[in-house]
Structure 1
Amino acid sequence: MNEVARALPQTVLREATDRRLLDETIRQGRTTRAELADVTGYSRPTVSEAVRRLVEVGLLDATGLKETGRRGRVGTFYELGARSGWVLALELDQSGVHARAADLAGRTRAELRRPPTPPGDAPALVESVRAAVRTIDGGAGPLRTVGVSIANPVDPATHQTVPLAGTPFPEGLLSPMEMIGDLVPAPVLVDNDVNLAALAEHRAGRAAGEASFAYVYVGAGLGVGLYIGDQLIRGAHGLAGEIGYLPGSSAPTLAADLAAGGLGRSDAPSNDVAAALALLDRADETALRVLAEAVARVINSVAAVVDPALVLLGGPVGTHPALLPRVRTAISFPGPIRVEHGALGTDAALRGALELAIEHARATAVAV
């Protein structure tokens, strides 16, 4: 027992060192052991031993020599290994299935889209997802992690989708692991699409560096992703940010307000994204007023409760340029509030799923 207890910190330290050097090599693209020692502060022997381990398991490759300028001294360049593996990101929502394969640096290796399946047809969605997974190929090395963005709340404890009455994506109330678990030899990580869009904006978008912000999604459904104190807030049951269920001004819910305003689909319990975009393109005053007032009520509520430094509008409807100025005008919260468009557009949720998968893949790759 004492030997195990003494060995554990060394194992943790080794994994942390390997992860730091892997991340730094990926960040630089190509580097030497001396450069890694300089930037991380690790000793040269520590870096050399860690790089040896990373090369041994295929995470790094030696890719050439670098003249040091000192007689007899030649450094070796290292970069992400050609067979270090890949990750898969899936986005499942009312617009269809979007898949992206990338290496551990996040560089896209393959991408495909499949069209939407009939509303409420769960078997058709399952077959579409399975077809996408069978088709896409991320190249050399093992598939390390699959990240899935789904347009339904996800319980943070069980990682299962949470069924809510009136969900705009009823066909998506299945477990992604059950959909594809037999097809992928890798962990499957699942989260709500709005949460993942907020994560992506926090990592690589307009909210980078913001400790507290809100991401308001307007598309087939409505949702808010919340970061408070640099933490993504999911709630006890994964239901934080389900703003479509807030009370409406003239209907039982906010989502019903939009439907009553002519923005709902006749064949599904969701917003009609194509119709909404066409109305916004034409600067239709009724559509602009209905949408702006609904989004402004959301922002007023969020601002009153959590006082974010920044609010981002996202989703296919939320990113329309005609909406933002009208939302700013409709906000009635008396305190300071900054409202902008997200930087990642409609790619945000898939980018978030990719970030989730890469983070897990790098962590587990060095834990050998």
Structure 2
Amino acid sequence: MNEVRTAARPLPQTVLREATDRRLLDETIRRGRATRAELADATGYSRPTVSEAVKRLVAAGLLDATGLQETGRRGRVGTFHSLGARAGWVLALELDQSGPHARAADLAGRPLADHRRPPTAPGDVAALVASARAVVAALTAEVGPHRGPLRAAGVSVANPVDPRTHEIVALPGTPFPEGVLSPAELLGDLGAPVLVDNDVNLATLAEHRAGAAAGAESFAYVFVGAGLGVGLYLGDRLVRGAHGLAGEIGYLPAAGPVTLAGELAAAGFGRSDAPSNDIAAALAVLDRGPADPALAHLTGAVSRAIASVAAVVDPELILLGGPVGTHPALLPPVRDALRGLFPGPTRLAHGALGTGAPLQGALHLALDHARAAAVAPQP
């Protein structure tokens, strides 16, 4: 029987150009500055291809010529190119119980400005909206006139997000009920795409890109703060679940109809004015250490959550994060308790990015989109 083979169709020219421009933009950003010859050597593209792509990137304002290469030799002198001064910028916004926190960065991820507002009253949606808009407006006024267009905004929320609709999912007993709103409506017309994801997912992304899980193919990020959550990075990809609910470990059953979050609340870690953990109370218990009998309740709940994750997905690394999870007194007793709950060789450590991981993840989300959109053909 003769086998009929079809020749692979060549990619459209626009797709090839877009891929080339993105690769050269990323390489220039990685190096800080580069000549055409250096870019050709680093990427394997021909020098004519690089030259044409650099012309496109300069014409789009994404690269600027920033000086001549001094070689000390006779002949042609190369020109250095760097990220354009007005190539654009991105915005990251974190919404949780600690109050809106926003950061602006250029397309290389270098911070340009940072603004934070105090927390609003639990349940006061109008105050949260006004505060978030104020912090974004302050950043826009400070950065916008000098850095070119806002290309993307990444938003971290302390609630699950549906990966298909990108809408925030309302769950019973959510620790952040005032945050169940549409970020696009919250921020108004920014003139740029608004990308939203759960804070634990974004912290997981940040730790993989530039934290304690850099290079790991599988790891879990266990967040302990106003709520409980876990981010799963498996098979070199972030797992969100079909409905954005992967990792909502606060809803794991503890005893009878009581959830893990409910057990912590009953042990004295719940707030009286909101359906969430009392971060200050948990930190006070950790500061007192083994002398406080409540530490065993906190340690037990966290270690059982970690054992559940380890038993189901067996990651090579588990990181503790969040305002409570990053406390240095939590890791040793959790590690000890885990040995009696799960037989596997579980490696447990603190995240490297601390409580700033969700905001850093929102920045990565915005940067990925902004760089791709910047080199995409205009309609």
Tell me which residue corresponds to 1:193: 199
In 2, the alpha carbon distance for the partners of 1:279 and 1:267 equals 20
Q: Does 2:313 correspond to 1:306?
A: yes
Number of paired residues?
363
In 1, the alpha carbon distance for the partners of 2:96 and 2:56 equals 41
Other structure's SS at 2:73 match: coil
In 2, the alpha carbon distance for the partners of 1:76 and 1:146 equals 33
Task: Give the aligned residue type for 1:345.
Answer: G
Tell me which residue corresponds to 2:5: none
In 2, the alpha carbon distance for the partners of 1:282 and 1:231 equals 39
CA shift digits 1:213-236 (9 cap, x unpaired): 000000001100001101111111
Give the one of 332, 342, 347 matched to 1:338. Answer: 347
Offset of 1:200 from its aligned partner? 0.3
- Of residues 305-314 and 250-259 in structure 1, the stretch that sits farther from structure 2 once superposed is 250-259
Give the one of 357, 364, 367 matched to 2:373. Answer: 364
Offset of 1:191 from its aligned partner? 0.2
Q: Does 2:358 correspond to 1:349?
A: yes
Q: Does 2:226 correspond to 1:220?
A: yes
Tell me which residue corresponds to 1:99: 102
Offset of 1:7 from its aligned partner? 9.1
Other structure's SS at 1:110 match: strand
CA shift digits 1:233-272 (9 cap, x unpaired): 1111000000000012476100011111111111000011
Q: Does 2:73 correspond to 1:70?
A: yes
Q: Does 2:92 correspond to 1:89?
A: yes
In 2, the alpha carbon distance for the partners of 1:250 and 1:205 equals 38
Other structure's SS at 1:154 match: coil
Q: Does 2:110 correspond to 1:111?
A: no
Task: Give the aligned residue type for 1:193.
Answer: D
Tell me which residue corresponds to 1:321: 328
Q: Does 2:134 correspond to 1:131?
A: yes
Tell me which residue corresponds to 1:28: 31
Task: Give the aligned residue type for 1:252.
Answer: V
Tell me which residue corresponds to 1:297: 304
- Of residues 136-145 and 44-53 in structure 1, the stretch that sits farther from structure 2 once superposed is 136-145
Tell me which residue corresponds to 1:230: 236
Unpaired stretches in structure 1, ≥5 consecutive residues? 1-5
Aligned sequence identity (%) = 75
Task: Give the aligned residue type for 1:126.
Answer: V
- Of residues 263-272 and 279-288 in structure 1, the stretch that sits farther from structure 2 once superposed is 279-288
In 1, the alpha carbon distance for the partners of 2:64 and 2:295 equals 54
Task: Give the aligned residue type for 2:350.
Answer: H
In 1, the alpha carbon distance for the partners of 2:293 and 2:262 equals 16
In 2, the alpha carbon distance for the partners of 1:302 and 1:255 equals 16
In 1, the alpha carbon distance for the partners of 2:347 and 2:255 equals 24
In 2, the alpha carbon distance for the partners of 1:276 and 1:296 equals 15
Task: Give the aligned residue type for 1:151.
Answer: A
In 2, the alpha carbon distance for the partners of 1:7 and 1:133 equals 44
Task: Give the aligned residue type for 1:340.
Answer: A
Task: Give the aligned residue type for 1:146.
Answer: A
Other structure's SS at 2:336 match: helix
Offset of 1:68 from its aligned partner? 3.0
Task: Give the aligned residue type for 2:121.
Answer: P
Other structure's SS at 2:363 match: helix
The Cα RMSD (Å) is 1.4
Q: Does 2:161 correspond to 1:175?
A: no
Verify the 8 A CA contact 1:288 1:326 in the aligned structure 2: no
Tell me which residue corresponds to 1:3: none
Other structure's SS at 1:214 match: strand
Other structure's SS at 1:167 match: coil
Tell me which residue corresponds to 2:56: 53
Q: TM-score, normalised by structure 1?
A: 0.96
Verify the 8 A CA contact 1:84 1:140 in the aligned structure 2: yes
In 2, the alpha carbon distance for the partners of 1:204 and 1:364 equals 23
CA shift digits 1:126-165 (9 cap, x unpaired): 1111111111133420000000000000000010110000
Q: Does 2:283 correspond to 1:277?
A: yes
Offset of 1:286 from its aligned partner? 2.3
Tell me which residue corresponds to 2:250: 244
CA shift digits 1:41-74 (9 cap, x unpaired): 1111111111110000000000000123431221
In 2, the alpha carbon distance for the partners of 1:366 and 1:287 equals 54
Offset of 1:295 from its aligned partner? 1.0
Offset of 1:291 from its aligned partner? 1.5
Other structure's SS at 2:358 match: helix
In 2, the alpha carbon distance for the partners of 1:250 and 1:329 equals 26
